[in-house]
Structure 1
């Protein structure tokens, strides 16, 4: 049975049992504690926590999930994967233990022709919490399972909570006996390899007042409404129903693995047993490729763009691990164009939007692979140099043993060049060099600590999430940003330095929570409103507005005069000029997005945005730079839309209705079931958006595109000014053009031709100057050669050529070597200072090389003195550095090295 069919049967079964089918939430979810959705119940947390009222009493879903904590274990065991799908059925104060158990048993054991999974009842083993006699009795008496096949387990295995005070309760897990070839008999408590867990039924019935660990917590009492939260691993069920040993071999994953094996000439499973543990390295690499290609496909599909931090870094790491694994398997070509379409073909059965959006997804993924291929080439060269230095250093003190690459060098490869540490470890080991792993980890931890400290200080006023959750319990903020600029409100809470307080005094900067507000809280790329809050005693300047938890709007303020106290009546006053400019910028973003899609095609989808009064930037999927003509066309289409005075409106509807209507859901955003669709000119621009907008496109005013650039693999960025800021920008540009026209004495229309002519003249002059310098240097070569000094039988010339290029230095060195002839050993070292950076070239003749004097060795010594590096062949080598003042010292060092080489032979 295909995975897509297992999924379909799940949803059909529970829908027939009165459950509302809820679409999977995106992998990026609005939860400050989560990088990605990592469990099927995550979208339902607000209902279980009592923060929101569920719109249904019964629900079912197949939720997309990603877990990255054990990414290094992917491929090594059958249990570790990054992307997976969790089937869930939920009850909110409706059915409880008996209903959950009967539903689960029915779907598992109903025959396949009748719509079930058709599992053998004799091979199903339930577990219950140690003290849960009710669940034990239901399995034994209602379902009819013998008591010796029902296992009681303790808190570590059969009790669920969120790790914080809140709902919790015992659970009952269902295991399937895979047979004696997989392990010992005796049930799940004996062998969880033979007995595979397939379903967990959580009976949420208690309010936990304190949680100290998985097994150590306090129960305050019963929940007012008992709930059910269950989870079945879709991939695990696929393993059972498809008769395979692990998730890498199911129909949604194996085709990628099979193609990777074909491309690399490997035979998967040739050395493996049932379990993926203790696998041959080739099999591990193939599994990494299959898992990471699918995971990256799903994450990019949900709007994650590869980057250097957060979610973006996870995708980047997955793609790079997949590409690197293909290289380790012996495949050096472009891998993703062969593999990603296969994964899309398998996954589109359940997620058809992947095929619709594949142009964007593939563009980003292929661009990332190409960038990483360049990284590998560059990083390998740098690593080779570092390894050589480590060997030389070890040789000078211990005969070559104990060569170690420092943690600083390994960290620089990782941090600056994106070179994976595991690749550094492997390649260094191949050359007999150790890596200071402890030093690398220390630097990585320091970087993480800095990032955490920075993140903690941003946007939250240093307050802990628990502070906001407590204030949220007082009720959601009545948010009125769409309705006006001012309203009466009451202060519900005040926070100073992360802690609740009753009063903020003049001069203090803290956070204010109101029962209602007209201030726009930063979201969807739009920054927060500016303005003031007036109190009976004075004024609060609003510095920022955020939503630290869902439903709660928090104002960061500076108290200008008069204290503000909890319970006071206040008035919010948004700056009208700020709001108008913000509306212009946000509507302008939609206009530019629509113009991009009209000019470039539907694959040019927005992947991120930022707008503030008068300015916007928009990131979109595209792999190459835009020509000047294309940018001008996009700008013209956008301004024509502004000129047409298109109506701008917002409507609320369900998410499925919005998608059917053609509204664009922007990647990286999380949406509720009811969404707000903003349209400009009807179908020309329809997007899901929570921002503030003008009422007609003409109110955007002038729109001037500043430029376009790359911000990552397969992602471009366009920036623009709108409204009065666009007019100011154009006026400034006009003034610059006028000034340049006056300087070169031509009309503005003739500037391109005139400047082109001037640049040509400058280049011709530079070439002529270079030619004259080279002639002058070569003319002096005769007298320089006559000044050769004897160094233990070697004729040595050290010459400072002055301000000449590297090529000219090389020509001079070879000319001097020719003048010295081959009658006796000769070495030439010439320096130049091209562009204020020193360059050195060393040349040796045949007799000198026979005496053991090699140019490559000498230039490395000189380059080290100059603060750089270099290398080359025994007869000719070149290096450089950064310290011009060390040129004379470098030539002296070469002369001494010549003497040492000759006397030690």
Structure 2
């Protein structure tokens, strides 16, 4: 049975049982505890936590999930993936244990012809919590599972919680016996390789307190309602129904392995120790390629921190694994295309976004190819320094720096070290990696404390969604429903109090979609005045008006007038509509892959992040500005309307990747086909109201992500006026017409550069002349001459290197070390550049320039490094130069 069919049968089974199908949420949700959605129940957390009342009593979903805690273990075990699909059925105070167990059993064991999976019941082993007699009785007496196939297990295995205070409860897991070829008899408590878990039924009935994530916490008492949260691993069930040994050989991953075999020329499943190592690399490629495609589709871009770093790491492990398997050219396009093809039947957005996904993935492959090239050179330096120092093992520090700072994989370091006749301090490297993981784990645990307590807003989220009137009104009557301060409901608040005010209706826009919140006032006829500086949404239904009571006492039940600052709103609509025009212009200039990766708009200003592999040229930037302003001049009408999500997509409306849209969406259309996007923000009535758009900057904000910034309206006019005044001032100073300023400035710059080069040449000549005596006055230490000391101040590092090379060439002794320091002070800050150069004879004697630099740099309050023949650094304390020279003598003596 194909995996897409397994997925469909699951949903059909529960829909037929009265469950509402809930589409998978994006892998990125606004949750301070999670980097990615990592379980099927995550989108339902507000219901389980009691922050919101669910709109249904029964639900079912197949949720996209990513877990990246142990990326290095991927492929070593054959039943874990970074990306997986978790099928689940959920009850919110409706059914409980009996129904949950029956639903799962019937789907698993019913004949294929009746919509089930047709699994042999005798191969299924349920587990229950230690004291859960009720679940054990249902399995034994009602389902008919023999008592010897039901096992009781402790909190580590069969008691579930989210790892933080909140709902929890015992669970019942269902395991499939793969047979004696896979391990020992005795059920899952004996061997979880033979007995593989395929379904977990959580009976969410209690509330837990603080403590350890697994078992070290107190059960505080029962929940108001008993809930069901289940999860069936789609990939694991596919393993069973397709008769393969592991998840990597199912129909969703094996095609990518086959493609990797074709690209590398290596065989999968060849056997032997070398074949086993190759198999791990093939599985890494298949797993990470699929995960990367899913992450990019949901809006993640490679970067150096957070989610972007995880994606970058996955993509680089693909490239690394392919190279270790023998690939010599690009592989990413073919691998990612294969992953898209096999996943698209369940996730059609992959096919729709194929070009964008490939652009991001292939771009990162190219970037990493350069990293590998640079890393290879750095490795060569580390190897040379190791040999020059008479050692045969590269330090763990050096290996970790290559891995962590430069992205150079440790297995490539090990392989290249072996080729160079060296080993690597693997224990030292592992210790540093362990420290890094501990820091990451501590950071992750720290994030768990970030879950906001929304209980004070619960009744309003459930019963009083705020009616937003701001699309048509700037002033409206409203009634105060709650006055909250510091997380407590006050009832009333007097002057000076910082408050969150909930009203039944409002014209003030709550921050969202890149648009900053409105500012304004809440007043009453009796003189109460609250100045609103921010508006936020909770539960997607309640507007929190945040501000300070300026006069009077605001109280629940008050009838008030809520007003938007009209100047602020006008500027905000200009910025937001201008963002849509710039997005449309970018797509015209760069093509459909220039999709949104984030935005910010506020009065007079817009910032738009988009996917691109390189900076805009001046011509492209000018074209984007011209297209945007042509749309302004065209005075396009701005239409907004609501429609179904699928209908909006069919019209060609652009959606923000990773955003979780509802069934009904709001479409903003500017000039018909010119711009059509899903958007909940406020906009101008016609494009001419935006005013001029001036692009003021374009920059990189991460790998594959560029940012364009622009002024709109009066801010654009003011910017242009300032630029014009600057140009006029330059023209006056240079005594030329404004049109000739660029040429005249270029002439002056050229003359200045020529003069600087001449000054540098003269300074270098003087330094060489002054330094000639250094060779004659060299200090002899044993058989080695030490040439150097503090030379002419003001030398640049490049000049110092050239001087050191010149002195090395003039050396009288075969074994010579040249050590030069300079000093310069700019704006009160002193810099001390220094250079060490060695002759071949000195290097043969074990004196490496890079090692010398590392020893002396601290003495001048600096740092540095380099190769055995030439190394350099910089410090800030010239008073340490004599001590540094003395240390050089000690090193030469072998101390």
TM exceeds 0.5?
yes
1:88 to partner: Cα distance: 3.0
8 Å Cα contact 1:410-1:440 kept in structure 2 = no
Q: Separation in 1 of the partners of 2:866 and 2:164?
A: 60
**Counterparts in 2 of 1:664-679, with a 5 A limit?**
664-679=654-669
Q: Is the 8 A contact 2:266 2:326 kept in 1?
A: no
The residue number in structure 2 matching 1:524 is 513
Distance 1:28 1:192 in 2: 31
Q: Is the 8 A contact 2:128 2:172 kept in 1?
A: yes
User: Match of 1:476?
Assistant: 465
Q: Which residue does the alignment assign to 1:193?
A: 193
| Equivalent of 2:878 in 881, 885, 891 | 885
Aligned equivalent of 1:577: 567
Aligned to 1:869: 864
Q: Aligned partners of 2:56, 2:815: CA distance in 1, in Å?
A: 92
2:183 is aligned with 1:183? yes
The match for 2:297 is 301
RMSD: 4.7
Distance 1:793 1:163 in 2: 66
- Measure the CA separation in 2 of the matches of 1:631 and 1:317: 32
Q: Call closer, same or farther: CA 1:57–1:897 in 2, change over 3 Å.
A: closer
Find the partner of 2:361 among 360, 365, 375.
365
Shift in CA distance, 420/490, structure 1 to aligned 2, threshold 3 Å: farther
Pair 684,810 (structure 1): closer, same or farther in 2 beyond 3 Å: closer
Deviations 1:793-832 (A, max 9, x none): 877654724445555545555555666657x977665555
Q: Which moved more, 1:421-430 or 1:856-865?
A: 421-430
2:744 is the counterpart of 1:754: yes
Residue of structure 1 equivalent to 2:722: 732
Shift of 1:588: 1.0
Matched, 1:287 2:283: yes
For 1:450-489, list aligned pairs within 5 A: 464-469=453-458, 472=461, 475-489=464-478
Structure 2 residue aligned with 1:119:
119
Q: Give a deviation string over 1:411-433, Cα, whole Å, max 9, x none.
A: 98888766789999999994338
Deviations 1:171-214 (A, max 9, x none): 6544322212223445445544333332345566x5x4666787
CA shift in 2, pair 1:133/1:611, >3 Å: same
Deviation at 1:539, TM superposition (A): 2.6
1:310 Cα offset (Å) = 3.6
Q: TM-score, normalised by structure 1?
A: 0.82
C-alpha distance in structure 2 between counterparts of 1:101 and 1:372, whole Å: 49
Match of 1:629 among 582, 598, 619: 619
Shift of 1:358: 2.1
Change (3 A) 1:97 1:683: farther
What is the correspondence of 1:708-727 to structure 2 with a 5 Å cutoff?
708-727=698-717
CA distance in 2, matches of 1:650, 1:36: 33
| 2:65 match: secondary structure | strand
Deviations 1:457-494 (A, max 9, x none): 9xx9xx64444447645643333333422333444444
1:735-759 residue CA offsets vs partner (Å, 9 max, x unmatched): 1121222222322222333223333
Q: Whole-Å Cα distance in 2 between the matches of residues 796 and 127 of structure 1?
A: 76
Q: CA deviation at 1:705?
A: 0.9
- What is residue 24 of structure 1 aligned with on the other side? 24
Bigger relative contact order (CA 8 A; separation at least 6): 2
3-state SS of 1:762 partner: helix
Question: Judging changes above 3 Å, is the alpha-carbon distance between structure 1 residues 502 and 307 closer, same or farther for their aligned structure 2 residues?
Answer: farther
Q: Specify the alignment match of 1:587 in structure 2.
A: 577
Give the match's secondary structure for 2:542.
Answer: coil
Counterpart residue number, 2:350? 354
For structure 1, which runs of at least 5 residues remain unmatched after alignment?
Answer: none
- The aligned residue for residue 9 of structure 2 is 9
Q: Which moved more, 1:8-17 or 1:298-307?
A: 8-17
**Residues 424-457 of structure 1 deviation map (CA, whole Å, 9 limit, x = unaligned):** 9999994338649888877887899899999989
Per-residue CA deviation, residues 40-68 of structure 1 (Å, 9 max, x unaligned), is 23334556667667666665432211233
Deviation at 1:596, TM superposition (A): 1.0
Bigger mean CA deviation after superposition, 415-424 or 55-64: 415-424
Question: More displaced, 77-86 or 102-111?
Answer: 102-111
TM-score for the superposition, normalised by structure 2: 0.83
Judge which range, 681-690 or 128-137, deviates more.
128-137
* Residues 1:445 and 1:95: Cα distance change in structure 2 (over 3 Å): closer
For residue 336 of structure 1, report the CA deviation from its aligned partner. 3.1
Distance, in Å, in 2 between the alignment partners of 1:725 and 1:447 is 43
State how far apart, in whole Å, the 1-side matches of 2:740 and 2:17 are.
77
Residue 651 (1) aligns with residue 674 (2): no
Structure 1 contact 160–171 (Cα < 8 Å) conserved? yes
